[in-house]
Amino acid sequence: MNFAAILRIALGALRVNKLRSALTMLGIIIGVGAVIVMIAVGNGAQARVEDQIRSLGANLIIVFSASPTFTGARAAAGSLQTISEDDAYAISRELPDEIQTAAPALRGSGQVVAGNANWSTSFYGVTPEYFEAREWAVAEGRVFDAAEVNGAAKVALIGQTVAKNLFGDESAVDQVIRVRKVPLTVIGVLAAKGQNMMGSDQDDIVLVPISTARKRILGATALAKSRSVGSINVKVRQGADIKSAEDKMRDLLRQRHRLQPGQDDDFNVRNMTEILQAQEASSKVLAMLLAAVASVSLLVGGIGIMNIMLVSVTERTREIGLRMAVGARGRDILAQFLIEAVTLSLIGGLVGVLLGVGGATLIGELADWRIQLSTAAIALAVGFAAAIGVFFGFYPARKAARLSPIEALRYE
């Protein structure tokens, strides 16, 4: 018997029992759909973390002021600035083999006004090295230079969120904004970075020269009179050991701050790359776990196929005996039942793909969650479904092929 005839008989048998065939495919449909949805959700989480890593900048370490201790009592975090611009310059100068650049930053917040529009945001006083450390490009305009920093120039760069809320679709370059009543000319608009790992909008920002922030915007406060800063963004050289650079930088700062052995650091060091890599590893484990859980549905579907095929063999025993009596060979019977099992798996797989893609898209829309569909994952799910059809369909098919024609014809 040729393959076309076997295929025709197998498909005919499936059409006779449409409801049973549909119920048999249900486990595969749910399994394939669940695998695709879970992998899409997991890949979306990984992609989000990767975007956050890129938005922060590669090999980034941030030094923050810590809570100082006075006579055994710890002051509130951020109550005093314990690091300075000089610390940043010392890090670049003393550790040239490990550190590419160190950029001090001074933070403030307030209302930004442009014409009749206003927006509450954060502003940072930075140096030109900040853009290198954070790998932050400019979408329009330019960054300020060393001369503008030295002269406390009234210039600023603004993020995409600030530009949209103050100027809408108009170009923000060469426009004038007021930060704490200080007029500043916008010389550039920063490229979009999106949210950071804490969920904060990195594009809701105004960057000004650090001298401008200190002398003009902060005014006569104690912070403005000193060279202290809130943070230092340190970019480690490509290929250098980040952990070693972190340790050397910590030792240098302790020496500069004259801290005794056993005394707590008066600063905090955060290795952002390590934090985000750990988060990325967690996302990968989560994605694998979700895919493994969803794969159980495929196994359950395969067991369902085997059960139904065994029932089908029992119900069609006399038919099998009759076909053998008129010349059908054991391999023809084996091929027929295998084709039935694989057909059920493939159809269920294809329907599951449609269900999975639709479900993943719906989750992305309703939950505002990033979804990343993978062609490889879809192909793998369908291929796995077909393999399950062969694996779980082989035993019933072999049982049917080994029936004795005489015993089969006698079966009631």
With H, G, I as helix, E, B as strand and everything else as coil, classify residue 262. Answer: coil
Phi then psi dihedrals of residue 118, to 5 deg: -145, 160
What phi and psi, each to the nearest 5 degrees, are found at residue 197?
-70, -15
pLDDT (tens digit, 9 = 90+) per residue, 150-169?
A: 999 999 999 999 999 999 98
Flag whether pLDDT at 322 surpasses 70: yes
Q: Tell me the pLDDT band of 221, cut-offs 50, 70 and 90.
A: low
Using alpha carbons, list the distances in angstroms from residue 2 to 147, 337, 344, 389, 390. Answer: 86, 15, 21, 22, 20
Given a cut of 50, whether residue 210 has pLDDT beyond it is yes
Judge whether residue 280 has pLDDT over 80.
no
Q: Higher model confidence: residue 162 or residue 315?
A: 162
Weakest-pLDDT range from 33-37, 271-275, 353-357:
271-275
Percentage of residues in the chain with pLDDT exceeding 90? 28
- Average of per-residue pLDDT values in the chain: 81
Highest mean pLDDT among 170-184, 260-274, 394-408: 170-184
Cα separation of 276 and 339, whole Å?
48
Confidence (pLDDT) at 31: 80
pLDDT of residue 277: 64
Structure tokens at 309: 């095929």
Question: Which pLDDT tens digit goes with each residue over 39-64?
Answer: 888 778 777 766 666 666 668 888 98
Cβ contact 139:172 at 8 Å = no
pLDDT at 70: 43
Q: What is the pLDDT of residue 345?
A: 80
Length of the chain: 412
- pLDDT tens for 224-250 read 556 888 899 999 898 888 889 889 999
Burial class (CB in 10 A: 0-12, 13-18, 19+), 255: exposed
DSSP 266: S
Span 69-113, pLDDT tens digits: 444 445 444 446 789 899 999 999 999 999 999 999 998 888 999
Q: Which of helix, strand or coil describes residue 238?
A: coil
Each domain of the chain, given as residue ranges in start order, spans 3-52+278-410, 98-238
Phi and psi at residue 104, to the nearest 5° = -75, 150
Strands 117-126 and 205-209: parallel
Q: What single letter denotes the amino acid at residue 284?
A: K
